Structure formats: C-alpha cells, structure tokens
Amino acid sequence: VLVDVGKRSGKHSAAQRFINRRLIHAARQYNTVVRLKGGDPMMFGRAQEEIDALHAAGIEVEVVPGITAALAAAAQSRISLTARGTSRHVSFVTPAVGNGEAASDWTEAACAADTAVLYMAARHASQHAQTLMQAGRVSTTPVLYVEAAGTAKRRQHCCTLADVALGALDSIQGDGPGLIMMGAAYQRALEQHKSITQHRDDNDANASEYRQVHG
C-alpha cells in the first residue's frame, strides 16, 4: 500500500496534521509503516511533529538518517562544506516560514558561519540575498547554487551574493528544489566559472570577429 503525501517545491502539499493522522491510522492497521522522505528527516523535514504525534498515540518510531541536500550537493560538486583555514563552520538555515509562523531571524546564523547553506530559499533568492547583504554578509561572497541536489537532474551555477541580489538565479531556476550555498569554500569555483565564462566570451568575440571578416 503506497500513500503519496508528497511535497513538491512550490506546489501545494498535504497539511502536516493530516499526515500525522494518516500515519497513526496506518500504524494501527499495519505492522510496519515506512514514512519516506527526501533528504534527512531531521533537517527541515518536520520529523519532530510526526514523531511526537506517533509517540502520543503510543506508537514506536525508528528514525533512519538520510543524506540532506547540502551533503549531496557537496559530494556532487566535490567542494567540501568545511576546509582547514577557510571554512571552519557551517550553518543550515531557511528563510521559509510555515503558515501562521512568525518570520525567524535567520540572517544572523547565515552571516556568522563561514559556509552558509540556505534551504527553501531559491524562489525569493534575490530578496534573501539583499537581506543578507544588509545584515552584513559581504556582496562579493561566492555563491554556489545547486538545484535538484543528489539527483541526475542536478544543475549548478556559481556567482556572487551581489549577483544573486541582482536576480542572477531568477532566470536559471527550474522545477527542482534549489540550495543556495555561500562562503569562501566556493571562491575557487567562482574563479574557475569566471575564467570559463571569460574564455567563452573571448571565443564568442573572436567568432563574431571571424564572422564579420569572413561572413
């Protein structure tokens, strides 16, 4: 028996209270019920609400850890979240708030850590980048944007925080959930990206010159 209560980036999903009730109902009906989530359930996964609801109903719970998006993105990009000397702490933050929830002050945690990873932030990326720059994160901070981390559809883009504030991610966003990672850890990736872009622009310039001459 498979029941889909799936969440999709930006799409309407089943209310948490409904999911909790559904889980308790299923647990009373079957010996073993698996609640499958993407990423790691204990990191922005609303696991606590489900665990608490099940405990309150006297149902035993085992939690199996998973690969949270930031770790999947790090592995695929081959850029470590931490590195000696340059990135010695990491924060996982979300500016997203649930219905009826007060906006949290997420900027302090995102500014204080060498590497900051923003979950569920891609949709309003430019606004969040502006907020971060106002809070003190420098505009030249390298950003690695990773979409659909951990899947074969993964795409990534490198730019600065100022670029994000100016809308750099708005045009390239697809359907998958996007992760905004930032900090000195991505400095080298940014430089490589720039030199590739520069190289391509030079080639394009040469090509159009060529076309002008020979076209």
What kind and span of H or E run contains 195?
A: helix 187-214
Dihedral sign computed on CA atoms, order 191, 197, 201, 203? positive
Shortest distance, position 48 Cβ to a second copy, whole Å:
4
Q: Would you count residue 186 as binding a second copy (CB under 8 A)? A: no
- 32-91: contacts with a second copy (CB under 8 A): 40-49, 51, 61, 63-68, 71-72, 74-76, 78-85, 88-91
Instruction: Give the single-character DSSP code of 178.
Output: E
Shortest distance, position 108 Cβ to a second copy, whole Å:
4
Q: Would you count residue 133 as binding a second copy (CB under 8 A)? A: no
What kind and span of H or E run contains 144?
A: strand 142-147
> Cβ closer to a second copy: 13 or 104?
104
What kind and span of H or E run contains 193?
A: helix 187-214
> Cβ closer to a second copy: 90 or 164?
90
State how far the Cα of 77 lies from the Cα of 81, in Å rounded to an integer.
10
- Find tokens 């500016």 and name the residue: 95
The binding site for a second copy (CB under 8 A) comprises 40-49, 51, 61, 63-68, 71-72, 74-76, 78-85, 88-94, 98, 101, 104, 106, 108-114, 150
